[in-house]
Amino acid sequence: MVRVVAAGHVNWDVTLRVDSLPEPDGEAQLVSQRRSGGGSAANVACALAGFDVDTGLVGSVGDDENGLLARRELEGADVDLRGLRVVADAETSVKYLVVDADGEVMVLGNDGANEAVVPGDVDADYVEAADHLHLTSQRPETAAHLATVASEADATVSFDPGRRLDERDFSDAIALADVLFVNDREALEVLDEQASYAESALSDRVVVVKHGADGATVHTPDCSYDHPGFDVETVDTTGAGDAFAAGFLAVLLDHPDDHERALEFANACGALAAQSEGARTAPTREATESFLDGQF
């Protein structure tokens, strides 16, 4: 049995560091390149496992070499893969992450097999046995089904729908989420462009709004907290949001009402992740706590 199930994309990432992002018809100098596992669900699962939280994964990869490499990396991180579907004769999704000198990221990719999981593929027993379900971008109908299964089993649900929120109807899954992660742009979508969280239809649950380098805000039915983030030298922001979400959840799992502490810990995780190259750079719990101790 796992304590948390993360569900969504499992990718193979190729990170290309360049001196600058070129203008149209321009050229940039390639500084370095590396290959590793990626995908928001897989990133969060690995980060939580690194915090010593028993974590499983629901997602899909192809039966190609990239899928094999992705599975080996996840197994090495102690992520339970009983919920991972390997699709025959399919390509694993590959994302090309172009990172400039300031750590900003441009993503190129193909969907591949990373949305092959449909509601009928979900092992309900696997999800029901967990204490918490964390959803990331995936088929809206699959996200809604997973959220329904978890909610009916009295598990808590979090959702980080990501950059495709404005293209897809995730309303059914959002309606069942106890915790919702969004950035400033996405917040306008889910809050229906209302002036405040209190005026929105989501005022009865926790909404975490990420402000990038400017920290984050957590809204709860009782109060809101702001945290300015941490001033660090950014190398690569890939996966920093996933490290943030994992850090927030790691605190809430043991301290369900300590949203202020969860926000601080999450910001520290995101800051530390952004100091290293690649999507799988979430720090350990010990490293995060040591970083926080050094801030005061």
Mean pLDDT (whole number) for 28-52: 92
Q: Which domain holds residue 251?
A: 4-19+33-285
Candidate list 63, 102, 242, 293, residue with the active-site label: 242
More confident residue, 254 or 97: 254
The single residue listed with the structure tokens 């799988």 is: 280
Residue 296 lies in a domain: no
| CATH number for the domain that contains residue 214 | 3.40.1190.20
Residue 221 lies in a domain: yes
Residue 27 lies in a domain: no
Residue 294 lies in a domain: no
Checking if the pLDDT of 201 tops 80, the result is no
Contact 41, 275 (CB under 8 A): no
- Using 50, 70 and 90 to split pLDDT, how confident is the model at 61? very high
Residue 8 lies in a domain: yes
- The average confidence (pLDDT) of the chain is 90
Give yes or no: 19 in active site.
no
Checking if the pLDDT of 290 tops 60, the result is yes
Helix (H) or strand (E) holding 192: none
Residue 228 lies in a domain: yes
Q: Give Cα separations from 197 to 103, 185, 217 (angstroms).
A: 31, 14, 11
pLDDT recorded at residue 253: 96
Number of domains in the chain: 1
Checking if the pLDDT of 278 tops 70, the result is no
Mean pLDDT (whole number) for 94-121: 88
Q: Return the minimum-mean-pLDDT range out of 71-85, 108-122, 180-194, 250-264.
A: 180-194
146 strand-pairing partners? none
Checking if the pLDDT of 8 tops 70, the result is yes
Residue 293 lies in a domain: no
